[in-house]
Amino acid sequence: MVYVQRSCGENMVYTEQCGYHPISGYRKNCQEITKCACESGYFFIEDGLCSKMPTKALHLVLLAKQAKIATRIL
């Protein structure tokens, strides 16, 4: 099995799980396992559009995630 990310719009991707033939390199029987979403570092603004997250905002998001993880550990 291999996981493949495919584009589904500008700065948007979804993930598929595919069977993989090691000799030929072909992927087959792909099944969508995630819905279309913004790429990492982008955020949803409206009507299926994603915009690059400002560096300061991205830093704050990462800090919030670290705080959430630390809270779970404690």
Instruction: Report how far residue 15's alpha carbon sits from residue 27's, in angstroms, rounded to the nearest whole number.
Output: 14
Instruction: Report how far residue 17's alpha carbon sits from residue 10's, in angstroms, rounded to the nearest whole number.
Output: 22
Q: Among 6-15, 33-42, 63-72, whose mean pLDDT is lowest?
A: 63-72
Domain extent for 12: 2-73
Instruction: Report how far residue 35's alpha carbon sits from residue 41's, in angstroms, rounded to the nearest whole number.
Output: 17
25-41 burial: b if 16+ Cβ within 10 Å, else e? eeeeeeeeeeeeebeee
Instruction: Domain count for the chain, please give it.
Output: 1
Structure tokens at 64: 């919030």
* Stated pTM of the model: 0.59
Report, as an integer, the average pLDDT of 9-16. 90
**Residue 74's pLDDT band (cuts 50, 70, 90):** very low
* Amino acid identity, position 49: L
